[in-house]
Structure 1
Amino acid sequence: MASVNYYTPEGLQRLKDELQELKIRGRAKAAEDLREARDKGDLSENAEYDAAKDAQGLPELKISKLEEVVGNARVIDDTNMDVTKVLILSKVKLKNLKNNMVLDYLLVAEEEANLAAGKISVKSPIGKGLLGKSAGDTAEITVPAGKLQFQILEVSR
């Protein structure tokens, strides 16, 4: 059984748009590639046809996986969430206690993570280490480079 994942309305819409794009353009391109390869002659010795036939399964696999993800997706209703604790969709201002650097992150679902945009996954080491903490708390988080300590300066929505 697949696990339920929580998304922002925008994140879920992006997944649905990607799924629709694959169903329409992805399938059409795979079919066109197969048709072109078939038109090139003897199928028993046509490596391009074999490759196109194999490649046709890739969009179908991705469509299947995306349908499962979208089917198990839930939109987050943050109206009743505790705004004093770090949860998914929390905006968190952190201070790295080692170098005094201040960072701002938004905790999001794994598929919506984008470090350049300041969005980190709740499943990342830092995201996991921050969950449930409040402003003023210190979080010691183990990352691949070692242990980091962050002071949580602010939590908001």
Structure 2
Amino acid sequence: MSSIPISVEGFKQLEKELDRLKKERPGVIQAIKEAREEGDLSENAGYDAARERQGMLEARIKYIESRMAQFNVIDLDTISGDKVMFGATVKIEDLESGEEKEYTLLGPDEADYAKGSISVQSPVARAMLGKEEGDEIVVDAPRGKIHYEIVSIRFLGTKGQQR
């Protein structure tokens, strides 16, 4: 079983989610019980909805618990360097269009593209890992190969200050 990188903050967020989901269990069980008491289960939408919610809840709990055993928790405040690695904030430039993008490389369970972070397991991140400023990378994308240059590498940690 391989380890999965995750930041301390990402791990704490998943712990909070797991705790919240476990606290939600009794309410879902109660909803199933109440819906069952309404009678005929074959046409009981409340029962079906509660059972579906229970299934989703239990699946998410099981998923998080299984992942937690695989995590390699990394403190973003302790990493730095001149090569792209987990926790780095990397600015890249599309060599064809000149468009610049900036991503922070995080674990797959905490990456959020809308907030500027991508999974270290994504094709773009995998192409960047181990590279330095000025290096060119090639990413296989649905529209073909995209050539980028690594413009900058920063390590901001949790306090947002470059090290």
Q: Which letter does structure 2 place at the counterpart of 1:21?
A: R
Q: Which letter does structure 2 place at the counterpart of 1:10?
A: E
1:86 counterpart residue number:
84
1:24 counterpart residue number:
23
RMSD: 2.1
2:9 counterpart residue number:
10
Q: Per the alignment, do residues 9 and 81 of structure 1 end up closer, same or farther by CA in structure 2, a change over 3 Å counting?
A: closer
- For 1:155 and 1:78, the matched residues in 2 are separated by 14
1:107-130 CA-partner distances (Å, limit 9, x unpaired): 111121111211011111111111
- For 2:15 and 2:126, the matched residues in 1 are separated by 27
Q: Which letter does structure 1 place at the counterpart of 2:123?
A: P
Q: Per the alignment, do residues 29 and 133 of structure 1 end up closer, same or farther by CA in structure 2, a change over 3 Å counting?
A: same
After TM superposition, the score normalised by the length of structure 2 is 0.83
Note the C-alpha offset of 1:153: 1.2
Contact 2:36 2:47 in 1 (8 A): no
Count, aligned residues: 154
- For 1:34 and 1:78, the matched residues in 2 are separated by 43
1:76 counterpart residue number:
74
1:34-90 CA-partner distances (Å, limit 9, x unpaired): 1211221256x5644762446433322221111111222221145775611111111
Residue number among 38, 41, 51 corresponding to 2:39 in the alignment: 41
Q: How does 1:125-144 map to 2 (within 5 A)?
A: 125-144=123-142
Q: Per the alignment, do residues 49 and 124 of structure 1 end up closer, same or farther by CA in structure 2, a change over 3 Å counting?
A: same
- For 1:22 and 1:88, the matched residues in 2 are separated by 28
Q: Which letter does structure 2 place at the counterpart of 1:17?
A: K
Greater helix share, structure number: 1
- For 1:55 and 1:42, the matched residues in 2 are separated by 19
Q: Which letter does structure 1 place at the counterpart of 2:12?
A: Q
Where structure 1 has 5 or more consecutive residues not aligned to the other structure, the ranges are none
Note the C-alpha offset of 1:7: 0.9
